[in-house]
Amino acid sequence: MTHRRDRWPTPTRSSPVWSGRLRLAGTLGILLLAGCQAANIAPPGSKPTTARTQDPTQQSGLLSMFAPPPPETAAAWATDPYDPDLRYRGTLLLGTASWGGEPLYLELYEQHAQDPEPNVRVAAIRALGNHAGPEQADILVAALDDPEERVRLEGARALQRIHAPGVAIDPLRLMLRHENEASAEVRAAAATALGQYPRGSVVQALIASLEDRNLAVNHASLESLRILTGQDFGYDRRAWSTWAQASNETLFASAGQYTYPVFNRPRKLIEWLPFIPPPPNEQTGVPEGTPIGG
C-alpha cells in the first residue's frame, strides 16, 4: 500500500472546506443553544437567576480549574477555520463526549478526516471510532493510506470498533505486511482489528504475521488467532498452518467473542483526591455493526 505524500490544500475563504466549516459552525451553535435551554444550562452571556440554571463550567473557584469547556465552546473551536490547534481540541472534546454521536457531529468528523492538519485528522478519526458505524468505515479505511503514521494508527484502532467485513478485511490484511506498513504499531493494531472476522484468508494472514520481526505484532496476531479459532499453538507458525489445513471445515467451531480493546488503568494516588477527575477509563464491547449472535 502506497501512502500519499502530496501536500494537503490550505482552506481559503472561498474553498468548500472553509465554507463548510462556517455552515457547520452556525448549525452547531443553534443546536447547542437549544440543548443548553432544554437542560436548564445558561448559554454564554445570559444572567441566570438561580443556582439550578448556572452553567457549572462557568463557576469560579477550585471547581472551574477541572471543568471542561462548555459544549458551545467545543463546537466553536472544532469549526474554527483558521486555528488547527483549536480545531483539534474542539474535535477531541466533541468526539469523546457521550453525546458526540449525533448526525451533525458525525458530519463534522467526516469533514475533519480530510483536514490539512494531521492532528485534526487524528481527532476526527478517533471520534469516528467512538461514535460511527459501518456507514463510515470507508473513511476509516482511507485513513490507513494517510501519509502520517499517527493517522494510520487511529484508522486501524477505529476499525477495531466497527464491523465492516466488506470494506475493512482486505485493507487490514494488507497492513499486516511490512512492505505495506513500516510502523509495527499500526501493523499490531491491524492484527487486533482482524480478530473479529472469521475468514480463512484472515487466519492465513495472521499466521503469516507470526513471523513479523516485531513482538507486539506477533502478540496481537496470536491473540486474534486465539479468539477466531479457540486454539493456542503459541508462536509456532508451522503448528498453526498444519492445524488450519486439517481443520478447514471446522476452523471456527470453537471461536470466542471478539471485543475491542480499550483504555483502562488504575487510579494514580493523586486521582483519589477530591476534585481530581479519575482516569478516562472505557468499557469494552463488541464492534458497532456486529451481527446479533456473533
Q: How confident is the prediction along the chain (294 residues), in pLDDT tens digits per residue?
A: 555 444 344 444 445 444 555 555 555 554 444 344 333 333 333 333 333 333 333 444 444 556 678 889 999 999 999 999 999 999 999 999 999 999 999 999 999 999 999 999 999 999 999 999 999 999 999 999 999 999 999 999 999 999 999 999 999 999 999 999 999 999 999 999 999 999 999 999 999 999 999 999 999 999 999 999 999 999 999 999 999 999 988 999 999 999 999 989 999 999 899 888 888 888 999 999 999 866
How many residues does the structure list for the chain? 294
Distances (CA, A) of 159 to 31, 106, 107: 29, 16, 18
Residue 198 CB neighbour total at 10 angstroms: 16
For the chain, the structural domain boundaries read: 14-45+65-132, 166-294
- Angle of the 84-95 helix axis to the 103-112 helix axis, nearest 10: 140
Check if the beta carbon of residue 24 is closer than 8 Å to that of residue 13: no
Distances (CA, A) of 118 to 88, 147, 160, 219, 251: 9, 9, 21, 29, 41
Which three three-digit cell numbers place residue 282?
A: 472505557
Dist. CA 76–CA 170, nearest whole Å: 38
List, in sequence order, every residue forming a beta bridge with 162; answer none if it has no partner. Answer: 288
Which residues have C-beta within 8 Å of that of residue 179, sequence separation ≥ 6? none
